[in-house]
Chains A and B, each alone.
Chain A
Amino acid sequence: MKKILLAVFGASLLFGALNASATPEQDRKEVLEYYKNKFPNLKFDDYVNGALALSQDALDQYKAIMEFPPYDSEVDKAKKMWETPFKNGKKYADCGNVGKNMAGHFPYFDEKLGKVVTYEMAINSCRKANGEDEFAYDDMKTMGLLTAYSRSLSDGMKMSVKVEGAKALAAYEKGKVQFYQRRGQLNFSCASCHIHQVGTTLRTELLSPALGHAVHWPEFRGGDSVTTLQARYVQCNKNIRVVPFKPGSAEYNNLEYFHSYMSNGLPMQTPVFRK
Chain B
Amino acid sequence: MAEPMKIRAQAEGDSANVKVLMNHPMETGQRKDAKTGQVVPAHFIQTVTAQVNGKTVLDAQWSQAVSKNPFLGFKVKGAKAGDKVVVSWADNKGDKNHAEAVVA
Contacts and interface: CB of A to CB of B under 8 A. Distances in A.
Contacts, number: 29
A68 interface: yes
B69 A223 contact: yes
Contacts of A68: 6, 8, 19-21, 71
Contact of A72 (B6, B67, B68, B73): B6
Instruction: Tell me the interface secondary structure of chain A in the complex.
Output: loop
A223 B68 contact: yes
A138 to B, nearest CB: 18
A133 B103 CA distance: 44
A190 B20 CA distance: 40
A192 B20 CA distance: 42
B68 A73 contact: no
A30 interface: no
Given A68-B6, A72-B6, A224 B19 contact: no
B33 interface: no
B19 A67 contact: yes
Contact of B4 (A67, A70, A71, A73): A73
Interface in B1-45: 3-4, 6, 8, 19-21, 23
A220 to B, nearest CB: 11
A73 B20 CA distance: 13
Nearest to A224: B69
Contacts of A72: 6, 21, 69
Interface in A59-84: 67-68, 70-73
A73 B67 contact: no
Interface in A24-67: 67
A224 B21 contact: no
Interface string A188-228: 00000000000000000000000000000000000110000
A147 B91 CA distance: 33
A25 to B, nearest CB: 43
B67 A223 contact: yes
Nearest to A64: B71
Nearest to B70: A70
Nearest to B6: A72
Of B19, B68, B71, chain A has the most CB atoms within 10 Å of the CB of B71
A192 B6 CA distance: 43
Contacts of B67: 70, 223
A70 B23 CA distance: 8
Interface in B30-66: none
Contacts of A70: 21, 67-69, 71
A223 B21 CA distance: 13
A224 B70 CA distance: 12
A73 B22 CA distance: 9
B61 to A, nearest CB: 21
Point out which of B6, B23, B69, B73 has the most chain A C-beta atoms below 10 A from its C-beta.
B69
The 6 A-B pairs at the shortest CB distance, nearest first, are namely A70-B69, A68-B21, A68-B19, A73-B23, A72-B21, A68-B71
Given A68-B8, A73-B4, 8 more contacts: A67-B19, A68-B19, A68-B21, A73-B3, A73-B21, A73-B23, A73-B69, A223-B69
23 contacts: A67-B19, A67-B71, A68-B6, A68-B8, A68-B19, A68-B20, A68-B21, A68-B71, A70-B21, A70-B67, A70-B68, A70-B71, A71-B69, A72-B6, A72-B21, A73-B3, A73-B4, A73-B23, A73-B69, A223-B67, A223-B68, A224-B68, A224-B69
